[in-house]
Amino acid sequence: MIIDSIPKKEKDIISFINQYYTLNLSSYLNDIQVLGNTPEGSIALSKVYFSIQDYKSAIELIKKNRECFINDNSFFYKRMMYHIFSDYQSNKELINELIKSNQSDDDHLYLREKDTSMGKIEDEETDIFKKADLFLQNNEYRKFYDFVGEYKYPISYQLIYYAYECYPSIRHELIEYFKENEKHVKLLDTDFYKSLNLKLLLKNNKTDFNVLKSLNKYNNKINAMLMNAIFNAGTSNDSVYRETKTILEVSGWNKFIGLGLVGMIHSNYLGDPYTLLKEFLPSDVDLKNGGALYSLGFIRQHFNEDKEFLSNFVTDDVLKGELVFGALLSLGLICSGGNVNENYHVTKIIMDKIGKIHTHELNDAMVKEGGLLSLGMTNLGTCNKKVISFLEKYSDDDHDRIKRNAGISLSLVHMGSKNRDVLRLLDDECPIERYCATLTVGSAFHGTGDLEILGKLLPFCSDVDEDVRRGAVFSIGMICCEDDEVLMDLLLLIGMNHCPRVRGSVALTLGMFLSGKSAIYKNHQNYNKVVDLLEVMLYDSNNLVVQQSCIGLGMLMCQSNSHFIKNYKRILEKINSLCLERDDNSGIKMGACIGRSFIGLAGECGVISVLNSFGKTDHIKLMGLVFFFNYWFSYQFLPFISLSVKYNGIFVLDEQLNLVPKQFNIYEKRSKFETELVKVPEKRSRRFKKKEVKLEYVVEEEDNYIIENGDKMSYGEMIYLGFDKTGIFFE
């Protein structure tokens, strides 16, 4: 936005600055110095210094007008807290006054900053997780083993669980150190958590198959498969596939995607996957089903036993095309989250395979694309210099899809690196490379809320290329993924952009990072604005905006109802009607079907989230969103959303890792916290056709109910009971 002039009156100038301070207003500094004569004017002037990153001058004005600053509940307040706390010695007096003002929610921002001198305030001797971080980040496994040995149950179990959640790449090494303790090994084993989740989903699955069948009637097979997979994600309930044999009677990429979605349904499956997929896996007779291998990757993530089986398909030079593409994606999924040494052999196999391909013939290009994606997944968050150099070579490739896939992989390898060197990638003249550069920067600085990096990315929301703009929006989402307030503040402004790809990306990004949080932000002004903004997009003139707003709203309204979102019913009715539209706009119908399915995600037991149980960004979950965000150019990425599903269960375990007999009493009607069902409208009947009379039974709802240990606990129920998270607890 270009500012031509500013108002003349002091009151109007202050109002103007409060609205536009996120823009660079340095050209007006000399004209507005007079504002420093009043407290309100001084804070407005401080915001101008903030906009040009002159934080020292901004803090000096705040010091003179502390009370006015404390009452400023805006994006400016939240970000200035970071800069105030980062220089503790200079701002000690101001900090003490801020803490006394009981602005506790914001004061906790500094406690999460590990690199600032405010660590002096925090008593690190009592923070066991910070001590654990020191050992685990430096791969000092023996010291971590001894450290855990200093504590008894339940703290020792909490430390092991923390290591499992926050350091997935070293799980196998830790198992070797703790192999003499059966319970510790169990806590480091993925199967244990899959077992808990599967029991939760089998008991609490509330998928309404009548809704699913109603929607399936008016949609093509790929939409039907997508809806079924999202509704039943992780539940292992594939009855629709079993009962409707024709659903997989599709060809080409539709079948590939459909089989990948089978893996999404069975992501918690504990049996033999080869028996489960036996009718689809490639054989000597039929070598076409690469989708079955793709599905295997979602079912067997973190299982090293399957690496050799999949590697055989990659190393066989006779095999080509879709089959090898599926094997490569599956290999990447299984290896993602592992460390460099563990995956060294697989990395070499993939690089050798890519190196052998020298043509852009369709089958060869497909294998190269799969290889590049697999390389990124296999080296997720490792910052492997050899792999980075290998991927950067493809930035000049003539094939756009290869160039784009190499860029996506680069963003995965750099994930969490906080390496400012990646900013140089933003200067590339090629729009595809700039798009991938925005993803890389967002991935590298995910969850940091780094204002300087946000400042670098914001101009790219107005790039000459529209794809670069959409990449910048999602990257801003990644950087702010651990701070919803900042996320909403920024994206609400960007969401009013004239560019349809920017508006669509804003809808998708807000849905991804605010999924299921309506209970947390009930009556929150900005959250209500987000919902209203996305609802308006449902009526946009651009089809892409409508499609992505449907998906974004579906994620946003997970585990919600009219009690938490006032226009919930109206929005859901609109999405339902879009699912049943009988026009030629397949894109809008697809978005509506996906969005409608997210409202009942995982049998109404899951939400989309990139955060683990300790509030830290999980690389594998974020990887899932990076791929899903890019579905617009490759529908094969759609099943990756299963990696980002978080199940809302409450598990209180004893020392033997069994569920303890425990109940949680809620003295409210169950409907207050449950997902509200809005029926899909029936097909219009002929005018003179006699209507069938249906009897409806009204069941009176009780005023209280009980949640058993091991059951689903929604965010609304969690807040009601006073918990700050769901998941696993030890008692």
- Cα-only R_g, the chain: 26
> Among 614, 646, 678, where does a domain finish?
646
Question: What phi-psi label fits residue 237: left (phi over 0), alpha (psi between -120 and 50 degrees) or beta?
Answer: beta
> Which of residues 397 and 113 earns the better pLDDT score?
397
Write down the H helix ranges in 337-449. Answer: 344-355, 362-378, 385-392, 400-413, 431-444
Q: Quote the CA–CA distance of 317 and 297 in Å, as a whole number.
A: 21
| Helix-, strand-, coil-residue percentages of the chain, each rounded to 5 | 60, 5, 35
Within-domain flag for 674: yes
Spatial contact of 521 and 563, defined as CB atoms under 8 Å apart:
no
> What value does the mean pLDDT of the chain take?
86
Residue 454 lies in a domain: yes
pTM for the model stands at 0.82
Give the pLDDT confidence score for residue 702 in this predicted structure: 80
Query: In this structure, are residues 404 and 415 in contact, taking their beta carbons and an 8 Å threshold?
Result: no
607 and 681 part of one domain: no
Q: Which of 646, 668, 699 delimits the end of a domain?
A: 646
Is residue 337 situated within a structural domain? no
Do 479 and 625 belong together in one domain?
A: yes
Integer angstrom CA distances of residue 74 from 71, 483, 511: 9, 13, 22
Residues 148 and 171 in one domain: yes
pLDDT digits (tens, 9 = 90+) for 640-668: 999 999 999 999 999 999 999 999 989 88
Identify the domain boundary among 587, 616, 646.
646
Backbone phi and psi for residue 706, each to the nearest 5 degrees, phi listed first: -120, 140
Q: Does the residue 216 lie in any domain?
A: no
Looking at the structure, tell me whether residues 475 and 610 fall in a common domain.
yes
Q: What is the arithmetic mean of pLDDT over 124-132?
A: 71
Q: Residues 552, 546: contact at Cβ < 8 Å?
A: no
Percent of the chain whose predicted confidence (pLDDT) is above 70: 88
- For residues 469 and 595, membership in a common domain is answered with yes
- Does residue 379 fall inside a structural domain? no
Same domain, 72 and 155: no
- pLDDT for the residue 346: 92
**What is the per-residue pLDDT across 185-233, written as a single tens digit (0 to 9) for each?**
999 999 999 999 999 999 999 887 777 777 777 778 889 899 999 999 9
pLDDT score at 503: 97
State the pLDDT at residue 221. 86
Q: What is the pLDDT of residues 13-42, one digit of tens each?
A: 888 777 766 555 667 777 788 788 888 888
Instruction: Let me know whether 602 and 638 are in one domain.
Output: yes
Residue 571 sits in the same domain as residue 719: no
Classify residue 334: in a domain, yes or no: no
47 with 134, same domain: the answer is no
Under 8 Å between Cβ of 219 and 579 = yes
The range of the structural domain enclosing residue 717 comes to: 652-730
* 462: CATH: 1.25.10.10
| pLDDT tens-digit readout, 466-502 | 999 999 999 999 999 999 999 999 999 999 999 999 9
- Let me know whether 90 and 163 are in one domain: no
For 332-381, what is each residue's pLDDT tens digit?
999 998 877 888 899 999 999 998 887 767 788 899 999 999 999 999 99
Rounded mean pLDDT of 258-270?
94
pLDDT, tens digit, for every residue of 591-607? 999 999 999 999 999 99
Cross-strand bridge partners of residue 646: 607
Residue 211 resides in a domain: no
Q: Is residue 278 part of a domain?
A: no
Total domain count, the chain: 4
3-state DSSP assignment of residue 611: strand
Does a cis peptide bond (omega within 30 degrees of 0) precede residue 459?
A: no
* Average pLDDT for 98-117: 44
Answer yes or no: do 560 and 703 share one domain: no
Same domain, 678 and 636: no
pLDDT digits over 519-577, tens only? Answer: 999 999 999 999 999 999 999 999 999 999 999 999 999 999 999 999 999 999 999 99
